[in-house]
Amino acid sequence: MDSEVQGLPGLRSSKWESSGDEPHPQPSPRNAQAPQDSVAASMPALMLPPDDLAPSIPRRPQPLDNMQARVVAGGGSGPSVFSNASNFHMEHFQYNHYDRPPRQGSSGWDQLLKAASPSALHNSLARFDPPKCDEDTRVELINEIMTWIEDRESPTQLLCMTGAAGSGKSALQQTVAEKCAEKGILAASFFFNVSDPTRNDISRIIPTITYQLGQTSQTLRRVIGAVAEDDALVFSQTLKVQIEKLIIGPLAKLPPSEASGLPYAILIDGLDECYGEPQQRALLRAIQVCFLDRRSQFRIFIASRPELAIFEALEPGGHLHGINYPIRLSDDYDATSDIRLSLHRSFGDIGRKKRWRHAWFTEEEVEAIVEAASGQYIYAATVIRYVSEPRRSPAERLRTVLACQSGVDKVAKPFASLDSMYTLILTKAREAYEAIDNTHDFLFMLRVYLVTMAIGLNLDISHQDQLFGLEDDAHETILCDLRSILAVQEVLEGILEVRVYHKSFQDFLCTPERAGSLHIPTPRINEHITRCCLRTIDSFSLEDIAGGITLSNRDFILRWEALNLNLFCSAALLFACSASMTEGTETGAIADSFVQFGTSGFEKSRSEGCRQSSI
């Protein structure tokens, strides 16, 4: 090969000389004399690596086979790298060739796998036999959710399903995830779990979702891997940055036709089981900013108990209010008939496995369980799990359940898992309350509210705060972390009262064998309510009491509401509590309260009456 080199201004033309016989370059002797106007008498080997070669790809120089190159003075045209060059001499020239394979991002993808949580996937082995809806149950609700997911023209991209503890949210999520997977539209799923350190915070959710997205497209996987390879610290950055770099950015590099054909349903279950309200808020905010505000291609389905972070986000004034499709599972959907169907089916399956030809349970027994479930699936599921124990008699264990429901059997523990859930909820709520306010006994005041509710006077909860000597709206602080088992709802026009989702929760609190250290004897609660009622009555003058009796019912109520007092409710509540004196032996304190009132309150009333008669 013989070619001339032309190149840089001011340089004389030179010429390449190569020998096609030798396998490797043979440099000129080191002592060869170059012309005086030579650029350099001798140059080291010339290295020309690619401009953007990734650092992780080793550089492999390869001498050009069968070439010996030496630049000498000459004329004519040459390689364009030295275009228009003239009058220079270059020796010891070595040409190195670099192979640059396409970047696969394999090391970055490996880092992504380390940051993800395999146990959070809907089909993870760690979640073996996860809860899901029985056949022919929750049919309308599942259809509603699937219709929303598949309607890509819907203006809302976020569905938030909230519900009480044990209302069946995870079973619904699992069922919907499997249906989406069958249809080929499941982009990713993440199931939080408070007891699993790999999925009880937000550190792994974006890598886990990203991993699943990468599984849907090899092109997307390579791009994601390259991003993770270039920025090894991306997994320790904020959620917004992770979403931008690992999801939004890589998707933008795909051809529109390919991106639009990818699965689009993202399911997140159990946000309340993510540790810490700040983390929950951060995830909700990142979803809004990165997915909703940008009108991304994804449809996102979140299920959670209505704990404070998500409750505030969804309520009027919250950043997700009005831009999500809300499903309030415990308030708007009655699961009673589905629970009945599940009990019949499960009990029937037990009989068939035992090869019993006769019915081993009655309709009345099923109805008793349905009533105790209060529309919450977890109660029925707990009963089914207990009765289905293969090494025990189903009929005997069913009788044990019914005996525990009625309070007859206090030794057996068929509701151990349910009690553990209640204990965890109460313990966390008490810790959260005591962290900001230790003025009142959290558990004691909770029981006061619940006992007052059970009496059935429909006494507005703000009036209860006043009656029990609490500051205005104290109930909001005390009850705000218990939304997974109760709610403050309007029972009559303008009257708010506590509503408990689980009937079994009341049974738990009233049974020392179940509640353990969380148990507070009911007579203590009644004593406190009695004292508060007597104190309220004692604050009235005899004239107020007499005047109230002569007023019409409407004027009576208006008068006491105007005074922020409610003598009638105090008296009625007092009567209900005093009736408990016949229900137990711990009644001495209540009786003492009446005696004390008789020696103070009545004397005050009598003295006021005497003064009025002497005037």
- Region of poorest pLDDT, from 241-250, 542-551, 560-569: 560-569
Tell me how crowded residue 231 is: count the other CB atoms within 10 A of its CB. Answer: 15
In a domain, 423, yes or no: no
Q: Are 549 and 501 in contact (CB under 8 A)?
A: no
Q: What is the pLDDT of residue 482?
A: 94
Q: 135: number of CA atoms within 13 Å, CB side?
A: 2
- Domain membership of residue 530 (yes or no) is yes
The yes-or-no verdict on residue 254 having pLDDT over 90 is yes
Task: State how many domains the chain has.
Answer: 4
419 within some domain: no
Local structure of residue 24 (DSSP, 8 states): S
Dist CA 302 CA 317 (whole Å): 19
Same domain, 401 and 438: no
Instruction: Report the pLDDT value the prediction gives residue 312, as an integer from 0 to 100.
Output: 96
| Domain end marker among 386, 414, 442 | 414
Instruction: Using alpha carbons, select from 499, 487, 496 the residue that is nearest to residue 463.
Output: 496
Nearest to 508 by CA among 498, 517, 519, 497: 519
Three-state secondary structure of 208-271: HHHHHHHCCCHHHHHHHHHHHHHCCCHHHCCHHHHHHHHHHHHHHCCCHHHHHCCCCEEEEECH
Could you give the angle at which helices 522-538 and 588-614 cross, rounded to 10 degrees? 10
Give 564's pLDDT tier (boundaries 50, 70, 90): very low
Q: Over 90: is that where the pLDDT of 4 sits?
A: no
CATH code: domain of residue 127: 3.40.50.300
16, β-bridge pairs: 3, 71
Quick check: 162 and 305 in contact, CB under 8 A? Answer: yes
Q: List the structure tokens of 476.
A: 């909001």
Give the separation between CA 71 and CA 3, rounded to whole angstroms.
10
Establish if 471 belongs to a structural domain: yes
Range of weakest confidence among 178-187, 198-207, 385-394, 584-593: 584-593
Reported as a single tens digit per residue, the pLDDT across 128-137 is 889 999 999 9
Look at the block and give the residue holding tokens 């350190």: 197
Query: 145-154, 250-259, 433-442, 569-578: which has the minimum mean pLDDT?
Result: 569-578
Q: Is the pLDDT of residue 194 over 60?
A: yes
Can you give the pLDDT at residue 458? 83
Q: What is the pLDDT of residues 141-177, one digit of tens each?
A: 999 999 999 999 999 999 999 999 999 999 999 999 9
Q: What is the pLDDT of residues 98-138, one digit of tens each?
A: 555 545 557 999 999 999 999 999 999 999 889 999 999 99
Query: What pLDDT shows up at residue 292?
Result: 97
Are 308 and 405 members of one domain? Answer: no
What pLDDT does residue 565 have? 46
Which two three-digit tokens encode residue 183?
A: 């249809």
Does 51 lie in the same domain as 153? no
Q: Is 420 a domain residue?
A: no
* Domain co-membership, 397 together with 500: no
Residue 424 lies in a domain: no
Residue 321 predicted with pLDDT over 70? yes
Mean pLDDT of 220-229: 96
Share of the chain above pLDDT 90, in %: 58
More confident residue, 515 or 561: 515
Looking at 79-88, 227-236, 377-386, 503-512, which range is the least confident one?
79-88
Residues 564, 436 within the same domain: yes
Q: Are residues 507 and 378 in the same domain?
A: no
Q: What does the pLDDT read at residue 540? A: 66
Both 445 and 486 in one domain: the answer is yes
Lowest mean pLDDT among 76-90, 498-512, 589-603: 589-603
Q: Is residue 276 part of a domain?
A: yes
The sheet carrying 265-269 orders its strands as: 186-191, 265-269, 299-304, 158-162, 325-328
Domain that holds residue 285: 106-332
Do residue 363 and residue 318 come from a single domain?
no
Residues 340, 302, 143, 209: is their CA dihedral positive or negative? negative
Q: How far apart are CA 555 and CA 566, in angstroms?
A: 12
Mean pLDDT of 302-316: 96
- The answer to whether residues 373 and 339 touch, using CB atoms and an 8 Å cutoff, is yes
pLDDT tens digits, one per residue of 328-382: 999 899 999 999 999 999 999 999 999 988 889 999 999 999 999 999 999 999 9
What's the pLDDT score for residue 556? 52
Contact 578, 590 (CB under 8 A): yes
Residue with tokens 């069946």: 168
Pairing of the two strands 158-162 and 71-73: unpaired
Q: Are residues 318 and 441 in the same domain?
A: no
The percent of residues above 70 in pLDDT, for the chain, comes to 70
For residue 527, the model assigns a pLDDT of: 86
Cβ neighbors of 546 (< 8 A, separation 6 or more) are: none
Helical (H) or strand (E) element with 402: helix 394-406
> Is residue 572 very low, low, confident or very high in pLDDT (cuts 50, 70, 90)?
low
Residue that wins the pLDDT comparison between 613 and 476 = 476
Residues 180 and 318 in one domain: yes
Tell me, yes or no, whether 457 and 600 share the same domain.
Answer: yes
Whether 400 and 284 map to the same domain: the answer is no
- SS3 of residue 590 by DSSP: helix
* This prediction's pTM: 0.74
Those residues with Cβ within 8 angstroms of residue 506's Cβ, 6 or more apart along the chain or in another chain? 450, 454, 500
- Tell me what the pLDDT averaged over the chain comes to: 80
Those residues whose C-beta lies under 8 Å from the C-beta of residue 5, and which sit 6 or more positions away, are 13, 14, 15, 16, 71, 78, 79, 81, 82, 85
What is the pLDDT averaged over residues 197-206? Answer: 97
- Give the pLDDT confidence score for residue 554 in this predicted structure: 54
Note whether residue 425 is domain-resident. Answer: no
State residue 169's pLDDT score: 96
Average pLDDT over residues 48-62: 41
pLDDT at res. 83? 59
Q: Which of 66, 100, 134 is the last residue before a domain boundary?
A: 100
For the chain, the C-alpha Rg in angstroms (whole number) is: 39
- Domain endpoint, select from 332, 347, 366: 332
